[in-house]
Structure 1
Amino acid sequence: MSVRKSTCVVLAAVPQGVPGPEIFTVATEEVGDPGPGEALVQVSDLSLDPYLRTTLVGRHLDDPVVPIGGVIPGRAVGQVVASADPSLPAGSWVLGETGWREYALLPTTQLRPIAVPDGVPRSAALGALGMPGLTAYAAVQRHLRPVAGDTVVVGSATGGVGSVAGPLAKLAGARTVALVGDDAKAKTAVQTLGYDAAVVRTAPDWIEQLAAACPDRINGYLHMGDAQTLEVVMESLAVGARVSLCGLMDQTNGGPRTMLRAGAVMAARAVVHGMVVYDHFDLAAEQVEHVAGLLRTGQLHLHEDRYQGLASAPEAFARLMSGRNHGKVVVQVAALD
């Protein structure tokens, strides 16, 4: 049996508040050959996602807490380099829960072969064609249900979910307004992602900017921000508004509970949905087909914030969790053909 050395990233300290790169450390582990029903995968592109912050302390659904010294969980695109399962031979491109590591030995039942349209990077399977894309698609189709003439506001509008949700709402005929954290993101939202307007929520007059951008109030809101943002938007809802609660970044980082303004919901006769993407896997095939078509025709832009090398993952994650990312965060672990 051969054994190879594989670089990985492990948890060094339990995070308090917004995590910094110092809570991680780079380590080395040994990986053996695949046994029956297993495959050895070399990671190409690793996805970094906000939900990982809650897995580190055991607060993400039923996922176990990550122990000190444990490899950080994570989803990646990779290539099978050795396989003991003829249904998934060496050379196959797959998506799987590899964790933050160079090589992962996994049961083939936990790996999904991937294919992307010509001209679209395989990393799209981690973003627009993956879980963030499905989150956006389900939120728009099932929760926000935009129609022509609606105004739809999207929080974290240039991130992995927002960069898909905004264009989908616009294609449905809505006026789309991006909520972002800085001027550079505002420019990207309008010029690259096609939002009709962008509001920088850190600006002193952002509440006035939001009102000006939404003169007929807000018909649909995809929330992926902090409690203050939610509070302001809820007071700006139009009658019959639909809200999808998708991400609570400040709470994810250990902040106080986010409270919903019941009076604002009542006044708007609004419907508020809780978004958990696992409830919408029945839409996955439809979402991939639809979004792949938009990527192929250029109606949707694959917006990624890319980092090079597994050692960059801790800093990339810290930037993501402090809102400094500019797109879906992807770490290129290895440049594979």
Structure 2
Amino acid sequence: MAKNKQVLFASRPHGWVQESNFKIVEAEIPALKEGEILVKNLYLSLDPYMRGRMSTAKSYASGMELNDVMIGGTVGVVVDSKNPDFKADDHVLGYLGWQEYGISNGKGLNKVNVSERVPASSYLGVLGMPGLTAWVGLIGIGKPQAGETVVVSAASGAVGSVVGQLAKAHGCRAVGIAGGKAKCDYVVNELGFDACVDYKAGHLAEDLTAATPDGIDVNFENVGGEIMDTVFTRLNPFARMPLCGFVSQYNSTEPYGIKNFGALLGSRVKLQGFIVGEHTDLWPQAMQELSQLVAAGKLKYRESVADGLDNAPKAFIGMLKGENFGKQLVKIS
């Protein structure tokens, strides 16, 4: 049996994550026990939430222990099974972490249908946790109505790109916020957003005002910090704000001090933080709509793919810095 290459969590970062916070090792693959499945991972998902799991700070999920395999979503193929629910060559989606092979007892492992139109990697992005997050936050919490204006930060990323396209599918004006002209051009010209604000251009408030002449009815927040603070000033009465993430703050040692928080009261805004795993009742409806849109070619996505586990730490750091374009993946084999 081949060795199993793994990326371990070696040390806790202080501020920005460093490649030295990881350790790459090779381990033996243990023999399967009754009820277990051996999966060869094809792709690994890299996501901002992983940064929070590297910390000991109080959160909705416990932090990782040192020398554990880094946590992460994977899609792979079954190579051996002693579980009657899975057989060799099944494609499966799970959380087997940063490693070439993973062993599962079947809990949390789901079969997926892979085809030319719906490749394996899509189950880690548009049809995986990012896509579900986008749907649950926008449709389940934001409840957009036709004609309203929806704004989403990190608009070219795995979650934000789906949010904007869903907003358009539901008859809304979709405005993205992204970093750099290339990302904004992609969001408007390829994804079909109505407008995109380049926060790196240096005049965020003015550009956001121009892009949202009728104010903002739904703000899907991925970034936090100054961007979120600026959005507060454009929220319409009774706006809804699904709070998904604070990627601008994950590596900061100094929290951003919100200046415009009082706007939420004045506009009677509904702000709700959410974790997609706590809304599994909405997943079937979400997957039905997302799958139909992907199969029809109406939900577009882009992937940034790093080659090999050796490059996973570098790709993860780049993703936290916004260097990826679309969903950040690692192609394992």
The alignment's TM-score, normalised by the length of structure 1, stands at: 0.94
d(CA) in 2 for partners of 1:288, 1:27: 36
**2:284 corresponds to 1:289:** no
Aligned to 1:51: 49
d(CA) in 2 for partners of 1:30, 1:126: 27
Change (3 A) 1:218 1:266: same
Aligned to 2:90: 92
Shift of 1:254: 4.2
* Alignment of structure 1 residues 67-78 onto 2, 5 Å: 67=66, 69-78=67-76
User: Could you give the per-residue CA deviations for residues 225-276 of structure 1, whole angstroms, max 9, x where no partner exists?
Assistant: 1311111100111112111111011332244445664420112121111121
Q: Is the 8 A contact 1:46 1:333 kept in 2?
A: yes
Aligned to 2:316: 317
Change (3 A) 1:168 1:116: farther
* Alignment of structure 1 residues 1-337 onto 2, 5 Å: 4-59=2-57, 60-67=59-66, 69-116=67-114, 118-257=116-255, 261-334=260-333
User: Could you give the per-residue CA deviations for residues 85-115 of structure 1, whole angstroms, max 9, x where no partner exists?
Assistant: 1221111111111110001112122321112
Q: Is the 8 A contact 1:224 1:247 kept in 2?
A: yes
User: Could you give the per-residue CA deviations for residues 191-225 of structure 1, whole angstroms, max 9, x where no partner exists?
Assistant: 12111111111111121111100111111101111
d(CA) in 2 for partners of 1:302, 1:133: 10
d(CA) in 2 for partners of 1:79, 1:139: 30
d(CA) in 2 for partners of 1:36, 1:254: 46
Shift of 1:16: 1.6
What is the DSSP-based 3-state SS (H/G/I as helix, E as strand, rest coil) of the residue aligned with 2:98?
coil
d(CA) in 1 for partners of 2:275, 2:108: 21
Shift of 1:58: 3.7
1:5 aligned partner, one-letter code: K
Q: Is the 8 A contact 1:4 1:32 kept in 2?
A: no
d(CA) in 2 for partners of 1:82, 1:13: 33
d(CA) in 2 for partners of 1:211, 1:277: 30
d(CA) in 1 for partners of 2:104, 2:63: 18
Q: Is the 8 A contact 2:91 2:114 kept in 1?
A: no
Q: Is the 8 A contact 1:55 1:66 kept in 2?
A: no
d(CA) in 1 for partners of 2:276, 2:108: 18
Residue segments in structure 2 that go unaligned for 5+ positions in a row:
none
What is the DSSP-based 3-state SS (H/G/I as helix, E as strand, rest coil) of the residue aligned with 2:37?
strand
% same residue = 36
Q: Is the 8 A contact 2:150 2:174 kept in 1?
A: yes
What is the DSSP-based 3-state SS (H/G/I as helix, E as strand, rest coil) of the residue aligned with 2:218?
strand
d(CA) in 1 for partners of 2:113, 2:255: 40
Number of paired residues?
A: 331
Change (3 A) 1:259 1:37: farther
1:243 aligned partner, one-letter code: M
What is the DSSP-based 3-state SS (H/G/I as helix, E as strand, rest coil) of the residue aligned with 1:108?
coil
What is the DSSP-based 3-state SS (H/G/I as helix, E as strand, rest coil) of the residue aligned with 1:185?
helix
**Between 251-260 and 136-145, the greater mean CA deviation after superposition:** 251-260
**Between 4-13 and 154-163, the greater mean CA deviation after superposition:** 4-13
User: Could you give the per-residue CA deviations for residues 153-191 of structure 1, whole angstroms, max 9, x where no partner exists?
Assistant: 101111111111110011111111110011111111111
Residue segments in structure 1 that go unaligned for 5+ positions in a row:
none
Q: Is the 8 A contact 1:117 1:292 kept in 2?
A: no
